[in-house]
Copies of this chain bind each other. A is one copy, B any other.
Amino acid sequence: MQIKYGLIGGSGRMGKEIELLLGESGHKCVLKYDVLGEWKSGDPEIIIDFSMPQALNNTLGYVKKYKIPLVIGTTGLSEEQLNTLNTMSQDFPIVQSYNFSVGIQMLLKCTEILKENLPGWDVEISETHHRFKKDKPSGTAIMIKNLIGREVNISSLRLGNIPGNHTVSFGGLGEVISITHSATSRRTFTEGVLKSVLFVMNKKNGLFSFNEVLFQK
A residues sitting closer than 8 Å to B (CB atoms) are 101-103, 106-107, 109-110, 113-114, 117-118, 121-122, 124, 126, 128, 131, 153, 155-163, 169-185, 187-188, 191
Instruction: Determine if B160 and A157 form an interchain contact, defined as CB atoms under 8 angstroms apart.
Output: no
Copies of this protein in the assembly total 4
B124–A159 touching, CB < 8 Å:
yes
- Bound Cα distance from A153 to B170, whole angstroms: 23
Chain B residues closer than 8 Å to A184, beta-carbon distance: 160-163, 174-176, 184
* Nearest B residue (CB) for A122: B159
Min CB gap A119→B, angstroms: 11
Q: Is the CB of A160 within 8 A of B131?
A: no
Partner of A106, one of B103, B162, B177, B183: B177
Question: Other CB < 8 Å A-B pairs besides A155-B155, A160-B175, 19 of them?
Answer: A102-B172, A103-B177, A110-B110, A113-B113, A122-B159, A122-B160, A124-B159, A126-B126, A153-B158, A155-B156, A157-B169, A161-B171, A161-B174, A162-B184, A174-B183, A174-B187, A176-B181, A176-B182, A178-B180
